[in-house]
Amino acid sequence: MTFRHLAWVTVLLVGCTSSDDFETKPFDREVVVSENYQQVFSRMNRTYWRCQGEGGGIQVNSQLYPDLGYGEIVQYASMIVQAPQVLIRVEKVPQGARVRIKLANIGAQGFMADGFARWAEGDTRCAPWRQPSSSDT
């Protein structure tokens, strides 16, 4: 299954999920690394855009808030209603960075959370559900 297929399946599965449900849902995974949170955010953001990107009803917003001490990468299903699917929050903590991952209730939740956690730990390979095209590298 290609990422585009997974994106469409995800859009269909979360189409009824409200933003309020997503906001109140607890984070699925948390990883603490010893690197500076801005470096971790930058690496994860570059990897996310290279491996995931936008398209197929998917929209991504990434923003670093240095005055607040965190950055976020948010993926939305943007068909009829903009529904959040993925939230990756990279926070400044005394020992480095805490990466918190929240996924909408989709079938590949654990699989995707594992991939994002590996990115937090320094792996920049695309997850198996999406390999970059030759123009992405």
Q: Is there a domain that residue 38 lies in?
A: yes
How many beta carbons lie within 10 A of that of residue 93, not counting itself?
A: 12
Helix, strand, coil % in the chain, rounded to nearest 5:
35, 30, 35
Q: What is the CATH number of the domain that holds 52?
A: 3.30.530
Helices (H) and strands (E) in the chain, counts: 4, 5
Which candidate, 73, 104, 88, 70, places its Cα nearest to that of 31?
A: 88
Q: What kind and span of H or E run contains 73?
A: strand 70-78
Residue 9 lies in a domain: yes
In a domain, 131, yes or no: no
Residue 110 maps to a domain: yes
| 77 assigned to some structural domain | yes
List the domain range (segments joined by +) for residue 103. 3-120
Tell me the per-residue pLDDT of 83-133, one tens digit each, with 9 for 90 and over: 888 899 999 999 999 999 998 876 556 678 888 999 999 999 886 655 454
Contacts (Cβ under 8 Å, ≥6 apart) of 122: 33, 35, 43
pLDDT value of residue 3: 45
Task: Give the count of domains, the chain.
Answer: 1
